[in-house]
Amino acid sequence: MPYGRKLKPQPMTAGLSVSDLVDNYFAAYNAARLREACMIFADKIAQPDVTVGLTISGAMTPTGMGYALVTPLIEAGLVDWIISTGANLYHDIHYSLGFELFNTTPNTDDVQLRDDHIIRIYDILFDQKVLLESDAFLRKVMKAPEFQRKMGGAELHYLLGKYVKAAEDELGTGHRSILSSAYTAGVPIYTSSPGDSTLGMNVAALRLGGYQLQFDVEKDVNETTAIVHHAKSTGGKSAVVILGGGSPKNFALQTEPQMQEILGIPEKGHDYFLQFTDARPDTGGLSGATPSEAMTWGKIDPDQLPDTVVCYADSTICFPIVTAYALSKGRQRPLKRLYDKLPMMMENLEKAYRANNPDE
């Protein structure tokens, strides 16, 4: 009766590796979806011809997941480009600057915390001075002459990464943020809503002060599309790994309808889709939209639906397991350094657009 994988329960023993745990004990329901996600990431996505986009939403970096998980994947060549909320990039640099965050119970007296100038993110606490001093660092950096112009997210975050890395090195914090790791590895980073974070708020404040830094959101749309177009047009594949959902999820997935619907470039959709979310599909929101629904928009290649997985569980549970599983399998690839290739990829996208739209 070959309908699926035969269940062969075995007693759990001490000293299990992550791969043994996932392969042999994640038997059904969302545990099985997580097992499938681990296997697809380690065995199919972690191949040299796959371009991997990671999207990050929710308060991931205050937990330490930036340095603990994203940085090792960047350094192993397993993440090629990133779309993150600005908040995740911002809160990650608290650690870079040597500030302290603390785990506590979520059952706290928020009135007392407010009186004591303590900020709470569910069960994480930190002093309000952490925000104020991080803001001061960012504003000082973004007053530099090289920031005084309109630029896309990849360039802005690359420049910020340079300064954050210098601060990490100078202060000796031992932290490698997403920004600094991506800068070193040439991994372009975008934010889908650049004004919707403390990073954007500080840029807005600088504009009031007469500084000239501006977001080029159209460039971000075109560059992210160029990355996916390059991956597919050169005979490779495209993968998206989605932590949570929200705007970063859509910004990564819309690269395909941008090619097909707007630019008129023939394409079929992303090849791999992994998502870890607590969002339900029946509410109609984008965060809970399934791969099959995304397929109707041209976002996912219909022939690749078997290589799409949604695991309905907290990213802070799933992503450490996926990362540990892939690294325990020794998965590593040469860095693609897509940031360095952005001009070439943009030129190729423009050529493809003009070839398919000769009258425009």
Residues taking part in catalysis:
299
- How do strand 272-276 and strand 308-311 relate by DSSP bridges? parallel
Query: DSSP string spanning 136-180?
Result: HHHHHHHTSGGGSSEE-HHHHHHHHHHHHHHHHHHHT-----HHH
Contact 299, 254 (CB under 8 A): yes
Any bridge partners for residue 275, and if so which?
242, 310
Q: Which long-range contacts (CB under 8 A, 24 or more apart) does 121-127 make?
A: 121/59, 121/62, 122/59, 124/59, 124/62, 124/63, 125/101, 126/62, 126/94, 126/99, 126/100, 126/101, 126/102, 127/99, 127/100
Closest alpha carbon to 183 in 347, 308, 339, 7: 339
| Distance, CA of 98 to chain centre | 23
Q: How far apart are CA 22 and CA 132, in angstroms?
A: 42
Amino acid, single-letter form, for residue 186: G
Handedness of CA 216, 221, 223, 224 (dihedral sign): positive
Q: How far apart are CA 102 and CA 104, in angstroms?
A: 6
Any bridge partners for residue 276, and if so which?
243, 311
Q: How far apart are CA 241 and CA 262, in angstroms?
A: 24
